[in-house]
């Protein structure tokens, strides 16, 4: 595993801020033993004495967390939380759509970011541990730098995220002014600048945790956005070769970090953010993973597939892997080219890439093909005379994939290697489904099959596995849609 590939940009640091951070945690009632320290890449590492599985590695007390319940206990923080809630609720009341979100980012993300941007004295040791340069997220890049993402659907979300930061800033600023309407002008003059809020949101995006039970006892909730000093120095590890070696939970007012495996001297502490694709990782954390595969052979990377370049929402999320992962999205993409596609809906009309991958992560689909999964996630047309129509759908799908492929520019010598990793992962997805189209056309006895040609040549990390998965997808497509004697 290439550790450098998994390193989040954290700026230039020194041991002084780390010492101050651990001393602050211990003064507040936590533990930060000297057996762990920092690597030159600012990752937590076991320096002396191996750690046995089940051992508590360190603890972070409630007083050091930045989360909704804790913010309600702090006077200045409460105002930021109130301003975010007020700006959100006021705009909800002004719209007819009760499900609309006034803020682009979540209320809690905005509140925590604004609080950190105000540089609270209570958290000066924690603030010193944060990266001094937060321009590692693509939404903070210049238009010239964004050319490295040419062709990727991520560009759409990058620009939406950039607009969302500006929108959230304006909304919270107006709410803040209302809250302080009776105060002197000098009070409102202390409102953070847009650049400060943007940098703080980058920190929240790349470091915040959520989903810990126990916060209800502290005036919060399970899914509260939470900044956890020290723990946020651990990096994301997931894939075929690397798994997490520590876990964490909130108990008795403390975040307790335990070893889930034996950790040897020299090993870094590893956590996981879940089954996230490179588009998610790059957008929210500023890095990508080259070998982003699961043990079952499925890739965490998903490509937003737009039927037309001018479409506003993707019609499917294409992902490589076993047939139980690929068939549903493949059929959904195909069916989008049917004239009556407006009438062909499924139960999984995702409009959000993260929701799609979260559901895939929750399902835990294994190599055994699940027909129920197919029926829920695709369009079953067995019994129809579909050969000619499917050939036409395949032609349209191929044309669109080739057009998408031609939009990319792959520069492996780029100064932005993570962008290169993202582009490579998306091109491999396109290549996978182009291969599937050819494999199905051969089984349908299509004459004069158009050869696949591309100026961009990419190899799959496991070429034999990719060929097998393409073949499996083609076979199940034929079994479900053409089981009446066509070649299989």
Return the higher-pLDDT residue of 417 and 254.
Answer: 254
Mean pLDDT of 149-173: 94
pLDDT for 293: 82
pLDDT tens, 239-267? 555 578 899 999 999 999 999 999 999 99
The neighbouring-strand residues paired with 56 are: 258
Mean pLDDT of 85-112: 73
Q: How far apart are CA 488 and CA 486, in angstroms?
A: 6
Q: How far apart are CA 381 and CA 185, in angstroms?
A: 68
Strands 303-305 and 270-271: unpaired
Mean pLDDT of 358-382: 41
pLDDT for 241: 52
pLDDT band at 177 (very low <50, low <70, confident <90, very high): confident
pLDDT for 17: 92
pLDDT for 238: 62
| pLDDT mean across residues, the chain | 81
Indicate whether 292 pLDDT > 90. Answer: no
Assign 88 to helix, strand or coil.
Answer: helix
**DSSP class per residue in 334-401:** HHTTSTTGGG---S-----HHHHHHHHHHHT--SS--HHHHHHHS---TTS--HHHHHHHHHHHHHHH
Q: How far apart are CA 411 and CA 424, in angstroms?
A: 10
pLDDT band at 456 (very low <50, low <70, confident <90, very high): low
Mean pLDDT of 308-320: 91
pLDDT tens, 181-191? 765 555 556 79
pLDDT for 386: 76
> What is the chain's alpha carbon radius of gyration, rounded to the nearest angstrom?
25
pLDDT for 345: 42
**Beta-carbon count within 10 A of 303 CB:** 30
Report the percentage of the chain scoring pLDDT > 90.
52
Indicate whether 174 pLDDT > 60. Answer: yes
CA-CA-CA-CA torsion sign (273, 278, 281, 283): negative
**DSSP class per residue in 157-220:** HHHHHHHHHHHHHHHHHHHHHHHTTTS-HHHHTTSPPHHHHHHHHHHHHHH-B---TTGGGGT-
């Amino acid at each position: 595993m290439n550790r450098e590939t998994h390193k989040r940009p954290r700026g230039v640091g020194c041991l002084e801020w780390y010492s101050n951070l651990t001393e602050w945690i211990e003064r507040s009632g936590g533990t930060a033993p000297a057996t762990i320290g920092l690597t030159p890449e600012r990752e937590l590492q076991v320096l002396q004495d191996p750690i046995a599985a089940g051992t508590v590695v360190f603890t972070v007390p409630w007083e050091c967390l930045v989360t909704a319940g804790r913010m309600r206990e702090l006077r200045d923080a409460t105002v930021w939380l109130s301003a975010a809630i007020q700006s959100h609720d006021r705009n909800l009341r002004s719209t007819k759509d009760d499900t609309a979100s006034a803020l682009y980012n979540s209320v809690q993300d905005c509140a925590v970011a604004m609080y950190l941007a105000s540089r609270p004295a209570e958290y000066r040791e924690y603030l010193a541990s944060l990266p001094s340069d937060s321009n590692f997220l693509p939404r903070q890049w210049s238009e010239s730098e964004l050319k490295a993402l040419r062709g990727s659907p991520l560009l759409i979300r990058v620009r939406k995220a950039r607009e969302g930061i500006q929108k959230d800033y304006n909304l919270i600023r107006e709410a803040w002014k209302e809250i302080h309407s009776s105060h002197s002008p000098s009070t409102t003059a202390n409102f953070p600048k847009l650049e400060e809020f943007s940098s703080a949101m980058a920190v929240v995006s790349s470091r915040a945790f959520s989903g810990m039970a126990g916060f209800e006892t502290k005036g919060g909730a399970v899914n509260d956005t939470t900044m956890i000093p020290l723990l946020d120095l651990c990096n994301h590890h997931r894939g075929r070769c690397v798994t997490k070696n520590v876990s964490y939970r909130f108990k008795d007012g403390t975040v307790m970090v335990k070893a889930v495996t034996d950790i040897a001297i020299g090993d870094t502490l590893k956590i996981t953010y879940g089954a996230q694709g490179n588009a998610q990782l790059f957008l929210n954390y500023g890095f990508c993973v080259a070998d982003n595969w699961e043990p079952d052979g499925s890739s965490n990377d998903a490509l937003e597939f737009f039927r037309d370049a001018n479409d506003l929402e993707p019609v499917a999320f294409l992902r490589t892997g076993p047939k139980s992962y690929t068939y549903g999205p493949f059929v959904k993409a195909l069916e989008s080219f049917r004239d009556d596609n407006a009438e062909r809906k499924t139960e999984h009309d995702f409009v959000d890439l993260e929701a799609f991958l979260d559901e895939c992560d929750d399902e835990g689909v294994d190599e055994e093909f699940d027909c129920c999964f197919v029926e829920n996630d695709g369009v079953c047309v067995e019994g129809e005379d579909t050969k000619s129509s499917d050939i036409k759908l395949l032609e349209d799908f191929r044309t669109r994939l080739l057009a998408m492929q031609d939009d990319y520019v792959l520069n492996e010598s780029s100064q932005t290697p993570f962008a290169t990793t993202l582009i490579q992962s998306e091109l491999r997805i396109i290549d996978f489904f182009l291969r599937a189209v050819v494999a199905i056309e051969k089984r349908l006895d299509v004459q004069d099959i158009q050869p696949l040609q591309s100026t961009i040549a990419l190899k799959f990390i496991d070429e034999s596995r990719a060929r097998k998965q393409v073949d499996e997808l083609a076979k199940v497509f034929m079994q479900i849609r053409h089981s009446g004697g066509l070649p299989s």
